[in-house]
Amino acid sequence: MSILANLLKLITYEENPDREGFVLKETSADQKATGKNEASSIGKNSPDEQKKQAGRGSFKKPVRPAGKVTEKPRKIKDSGEAGAVQTGQTAGRANEKPVVDNLSVSASLAENRDTVRILYGLPENKDIIMREIVIGTEPVINGFVIFIDGLVDKSIQDLLFQALMLFAARPAPPEKGKLALFVKERLLPGNQITLQSRFREILDAVNYGDTALFLEGCADALLVETKGWEHRGIDRPTIEQVVRGPQEAFGETLRTNTALIRKLIKNENLTTEFIKVGTRNQVNVAVMYLRDLANPALVAEVKRRIDSIKTDLIIDSGTLEELIEDNPYNLNPTVMATERPDRVAASIIEGRVGIIVDGSPFALIVPTTMYEMLHTGEELYTRWQFGTFIRYLRALAFYLSFLLPGLYLSVVLFHQEMIPTELLLAIAGNRERVPFPSLVEVLLMEISFELIREAGLRIPGVMGTTIGIVGALILGQAAVQANIVSPILVILVAVTGLSSFAIPYYSLAFSLRIYRFFYIAMGAMLGFFGISIGLFAQIILTANLKSFGVPYLAPIGPRTVTGADVVTRLPVFFHEKRPDYLNPLEIARQPDVSRGWLEQKDGGKDN
Partner 1 sequence: MVKIIKEGRFGPGEAIVLLGISSMARIFLPYPRLLVDIGGPAVWMMPLGGLAAALTGIYLMSLVLKKSPGSTIIEITEQAFGPFIGMAVNILVTFQILVVIGAVFIREFSEAMLTITLRYAPISLIDAAFLAMGLLGAYLGVEALARTARLTYLYVLGGLSILIFSLIPFWNFHNMLPFFGNGPKEVFLMGTYSTAGIAEIIIAGVIVQAMGGAKIFAGIGYRAMLLGFGILFLSLTTLVLTYSWPVSEEFTLPFLRLARTIYLGRFFQRPEAIFILVWGIVGAIKIALLLYTAAVSLARSLKLPEYRPLIWPLGLAMFILSLLPLDMPSVIEVDAVYIRSAILLPDYLLPLLILAVLWLKGRGARAGS
Report the interface residues with partner 1, using CB under 8 A: 410-411, 414-415, 417-418, 420, 526-529, 531-533, 535-537, 539-541, 543-544, 551, 553, 556-559
> Minimum Å distance from CB 530 to partner 1?
8
Least distance CB 582 / partner 1 (angstroms): 17
Alpha carbon distances (Å) from 543 to 402, 537, 546, 555, 556: 18, 10, 8, 11, 10
Q: At closest approach, how far in Å is the CB of 359 from partner 1?
A: 38
Contacting residues for 586 by C-beta, under 8 A, at least 6 apart: 292, 293, 578
**Pair 553, 567: CB distance under 8 Å:** no
Angle between helices 461-469 and 438-458 (to 10 degrees): 160
Strand partners, 221: 196, 214
* CA–CA distance, 323 with 316 (Å, rounded to integer): 12
Report in angstroms how near the CB of residue 190 gets to partner 1 at its nearest: 56
Edge-to-edge strand ranges of the sheet holding 211-215:
128-135, 141-148, 211-215, 221-224, 193-196
Do 114 and 77 form a contact (C-beta atoms < 8 A)? no
Nearer to partner 1, 60 or 559 (CB): 559
Q: In this complex, which beta carbon is closest to partner 1, that of residue 112 or of residue 542?
A: 542
Dihedral angle over CA of 150, 156, 160, 162, nearest 10: 110
**Least distance from partner 1 to the Cβ atom of residue 229, Å:** 48
Q: Which residue number, 171 or 420, has a Cβ lying nearer to partner 1?
A: 420
**Min separation Cβ 535 and partner 1, Å:** 6
101 near 203, Cβ under 8 Å? no
Q: Name the phi and psi angles at 180, rounded to 5.
A: -65, -40
Q: What distance in Å separates the CA atoms of residue 201 and residue 101, rounded to the nearest whole number?
A: 9
Q: CB nearer to partner 1: give 287 or 545.
A: 545
Whole-number minimum distance, CB 553 to partner 1, in Å? 7
Q: Which is nearer to partner 1, 113 or 391 (CB)?
A: 391
**Which of residues 410 and 486 has its CB atom nearest to partner 1 in the complex?**
410
**Closer residue to partner 1, CB minimum distance, 120 or 371:** 371
Closer to partner 1 by CB, 353 or 411: give it: 411
Q: Which residues pair with 146 in a beta bridge?
A: 130, 212
Strand boundaries in 178-232, DSSP class E: 193-196, 211-215, 221-224
Helix (H) or strand (E) holding 273: strand 270-277
Q: Where are the alpha helices (DSSP H) in 331-469?
A: 341-350, 370-373, 378-381, 384-413, 421-431, 438-458, 461-469
Q: How far is CA 128 from CA 116, 120, 507, in A?
A: 10, 7, 40
Q: List the end-to-end C-alpha distance of the chain, in Å, as a whole number.
A: 112
Residue 585 is given by DSSP the state S
Minimum CB separation from partner 1 for residue 555, in Å? Answer: 11
Closest-CA residue to 348 (of 247, 238, 269): 269
Distance set, CA 21 to CA 24, 26, 30, 586 (Å):
10, 16, 22, 68
Please say which residue, 193 or 403, places its beta carbon nearer to partner 1: 403
Question: How far, in Å, CA of 223 to CA of 206, rounded?
Answer: 8
Nearer to partner 1, 48 or 417 (CB): 417
Q: What is the DSSP letter of 589?
A: S
Q: Least distance (Å) from partner 1 to the CB of residue 533?
A: 6
Question: Minimum CB separation from partner 1 for residue 492, in Å?
Answer: 18
Distance CA 321, CA 3 (A): 67
Q: Which residues make Cβ contacts (< 8 Å) with residue 167, sequence separation at least 6?
A: 136, 187
Shortest CB 371 distance to partner 1, Å: 12
Nearest distance from C-beta of residue 308 to partner 1, angstroms = 24
Could you tell me if 202 and 120 are in contact, meaning their C-beta atoms sit under 8 angstroms apart? Answer: no
The dihedral through the CA atoms of 190, 194, 197, 202 has a sign that is negative
CA 440/CA 425 separation, integer angstroms: 21
| Between 281 and 410, CB nearer to partner 1 | 410
Residue 494 vs 526, nearer CB to partner 1 = 526
Q: Which is nearer to partner 1, 203 or 397 (CB)?
A: 397
CB of 564 to partner 1, least distance (A): 19
Nearer to partner 1, 370 or 484 (CB): 370
Q: How far is the CB of 546 from partner 1 (least distance, A)?
A: 11
